[in-house]
Amino acid sequence: MFKLSRKVLFAIEAVVDIAYHSGGQPVQSKEITRRQGIPRRYLEQVLQRLVRADILVGVRGPRGGYSLARERRRVSVGEIIRVVRTLETASDPLENEDGSELAEKVVRPIWSELQEEMMARLEKLSVDELCNFAHRQGVESEGRQYLDFSI
């Protein structure tokens, strides 16, 4: 069943935070926690899963942290959701075989179709679009201090 769990929400926020605030430098998890209020116990688990899925790259060392594994326009929200769902253990009520004929033949198929439509839209929504939206909403990027446009 499609629901926005805490882990999914934290993962999307973390990836957008990294994309928006990096300024070309790795973003440390403690900075994400400070800005987003995401508990570290969730964050580290989610970030490591995103590294294994080649959405993020982990950089070791004192100036290490996380950065996107590819351009932010090439990372979709749907991809992040699919990766994080593998961490969740709750069963999907749509897969439950118990229920009435009405639920089995009408409600569940319609709900499944709606979920597929929503995921198709989220697959098309890029992290770049979310970063551009954040900019339009006036969210200040802490990474801008690292950018140098001089030639």
The tally of domains found in the chain comes to 1
Residue 63 pLDDT grade (very low, low, confident, very high; cuts 50, 70, 90): confident
| pLDDT (tens digit per residue) in 69-111 | 999 999 999 999 999 988 776 555 556 567 788 988 898 899 8
**Does a structural domain hold residue 70?**
yes
Grade residue 61 by pLDDT with cuts at 50, 70 and 90. Answer: confident
Q: Distance between CA atoms of 143 and 50, rounded to whole angstroms?
A: 21
Q: For residue 87, is it within any domain? A: yes
According to the model, what pLDDT value does residue 149 have? 42
The answer to the question of residue 139 being in a domain is yes
pLDDT at 145 > cutoff 60: no
What is the reported pLDDT for 148? 44
- Residue 151, in any domain of the structure: no
Query: How many helices (DSSP H) and strands (DSSP E) are in the chain?
Result: 7, 2
Alpha-carbon distance of 16 to 32, in angstroms, equals 10
Could you tell me if 69 and 54 are in contact, meaning their C-beta atoms sit under 8 angstroms apart?
A: yes
Q: Is residue 23 part of a domain?
A: yes
The H or E element that residue 68 is part of is strand 65-68
Give 127 or 87, the one with higher predicted confidence: 127
Instruction: Write down the pLDDT at residue 88.
Output: 76
Q: What is the CATH number of the domain that holds 130?
A: 1.10.10.10
- On whether residue 148 sits in a domain, the answer given is no
Mean model confidence pLDDT for the chain: 87
How many of the other CB atoms lie within 10 Å of CB of 29? Answer: 19
Query: What is the mean pLDDT of the segment spanning 58-78?
Result: 94
Which structural domain, as residue segments, surrounds residue 87? 6-143
Residue 149 falls within a domain, yes or no? no
Average confidence (pLDDT) over 9-24: 93
CB 55 within 8 A of CB 79: yes
Q: Is residue 79 part of a domain?
A: yes
